[in-house]
Chains A and B, each alone.
Chain A
């Protein structure tokens, strides 16, 4: 499996290298707009933290799967072991089709098909890859997820064992191994994000009818328990 992955991955890099010269970065300003579609999961800029996806400060030159406090998919752990590093060429190939590049990634994103958009967003990300101390005092590009949830709800410590029992209702659709096709992955999310998302369904701010129905009858402790369980799930 590891070998198969490496072969596919090498092929992608070769193609991508031809497409993007190292200095052929796009327009960072335009890239900021492209980055809007990444912001739901990734933060970049001053104070950026790992959320559903890892933060993207200092991305250039960083080995894949290298942030110690982020739980990567097995696919990215393998990529890291194979020596994948993030540069303009590898990012270009990855962003074009994330799933074909790293088949088991939990990044539920179809990719950016337009080459110029990719180059622009790569140029934008490049701004945050200098020495972190020098990050320009620009407007933050990602703010905390918008919500008006009672801090007392966010402070509830979930019981992962209860969450495990409750999770059996989720895993009928959401795969426990983090795979997603048609239905998003919910494993290893930061607990806060999970709780905010579930309450947004419960309060009918998020629109999906199945999720509104499932969330409607979960109380605050149960949502916290699920967040705790899925956050710790090993796959």
Chain B
């Protein structure tokens, strides 16, 4: 029953294949080159793991426009007053120190024949393998009356940073007894429990500071992630404050007027004080420009996250269409490690291990009332398929909910050091 390396290798077809043909794809230009676009949970993790594990054998360049990254995960806790904005901020110095060439610029084009990425600053980056992890952009016209020019009046706050701070400022400035509205997005979208954790955090803030205020949620979906847990929590902590209007009651038939600050749900117009519009989403624009999208998302092969449109391009995280995994930071981080292992294998002949994926999403409903949902996944020829999962139960003890929240804080420290070094 002893397991030595030889026995292990014999068991794994992928491994023997990659060892038999240690293809070093540097095309006569020295070290193989990997360009990663997007420095979030997918891109930062992939860049760091490829640089770290290849020990200098691969040139890794990360293209990310912002100097400082604010995590979307935990940004609701900033709205609730549990975190400061700076708690969510991370620099790229750790990645640079681990050998990643960090370029702060926008990628504006991909030439798949020449295998180059064009940057807004004018330069061009050649690649052997390109990893796209651009996150999300919004579908134009998804919410009638709302477009990017209206995002100051009606913030989306679904890319963390100034939008999140704006929404918090508007929340704090709400008149006594005012109305906070959220327009929730249709599936699939980034962070399935996100809008509902946000509603919980807004309610937490209002309960303490503006207890007669109301929250309206217009939702195009008949049900949502962790619905029973959120509804139980809303009834326990914020009784009578939150009005969730689902598909059955016209929650999908919505328009807004940012100038008048009105929200119309199924023909009925309501004056609102704050309106958080989270429109339908699609892959970050560069995925479309690279020509690897089909509809709103970029289809990928489950075994290595390679694009179905181009074997030299990989797509990670929210932008990818991979199967059963939710669009989350945890998922992107998990996919990035599978991808990094595969890319290293192709470029340097290193061992490629079978893909394993996992995800857990924690949400905070009120102080020390944390819940979670998670699952493990495997690669099948068709998609990333769910293997097993779990979800917090209604009626759990306060002690367990507190432990779950503390666990989420531990996870935040864990994943951010896994992403940024």
Same complex for A and B? Answer yes
Is the beta-carbon distance between B410 and A169 smaller than 8 angstroms?
Answer: no
Q: Beyond A172-B414, A180-B410, is A214–B3 a contact (Cβ under 8 Å)? A: no
Assign chain A's interface to a size class: 35 or more
Contact with A along B49-80 (1 / 0, CB 8 A): 10000000000000000000000000000000
Contact with A along B340-382 (1 / 0, CB 8 A): 0100000000010100101010000000000010111000000
Is the beta-carbon distance between A155 and B375 smaller than 8 angstroms?
Answer: no
Partner-contacting stretch, out of A44-52, A114-122, A133-141, A159-167: A159-167
**How far is B3's CA from A153's CA once the two chains are assembled, in angstroms?**
10
Is the beta-carbon distance between A169 and B337 smaller than 8 angstroms?
Answer: yes
Is the beta-carbon distance between B390 and A175 smaller than 8 angstroms?
Answer: no
User: Which B residues lie within 8 Å of A183 (CB)?
Assistant: 407, 410-411, 414
Distance in angstroms from B38 CB to nearest chain A CB is 18
**B413 interfacial by beta-carbon distance below 8 Å:** yes
Question: Which residues B1-59 have CB closer than 8 A to chain A?
Answer: 1-5, 8, 49
**A19 interfacial by beta-carbon distance below 8 Å:** no
Is the beta-carbon distance between B408 and A182 smaller than 8 angstroms?
Answer: yes
**How far is B375's CA from A108's CA once the two chains are assembled, in angstroms?**
27
Q: Which of A173, A179, A181, A217 has the most CB of B within 10 A?
A: A173
Is the beta-carbon distance between A181 and B353 smaller than 8 angstroms?
Answer: no
Q: Please tell me which one of the listed residues A165, A175, A214 contacts residue B376 in the complex, with CB atoms under 8 A apart.
A: A214
**B389 interfacial by beta-carbon distance below 8 Å:** yes
**How far is B372's CA from A182's CA once the two chains are assembled, in angstroms?**
14
**How far is B417's CA from A98's CA once the two chains are assembled, in angstroms?**
23
Contact with B along A75-96 (1 / 0, CB 8 A): 0000000000000000000000
Taking Cβ atoms with an 8 Å cutoff, the residues of B that contact A are 1-5, 8, 49, 330, 333-334, 337, 341, 351, 353, 356, 358, 360, 372, 374-376, 387-390, 406-411, 413-415, 417-418
Taking Cβ atoms with an 8 Å cutoff, the residues of A that contact B are 152-153, 155-159, 161-162, 165-166, 168-169, 171-177, 179-183, 209-210, 212-214, 216-217, 220-221, 224-225
The 4 closest A-B pairs by CB, nearest first: A182-B410, A183-B410, A182-B406, A168-B337
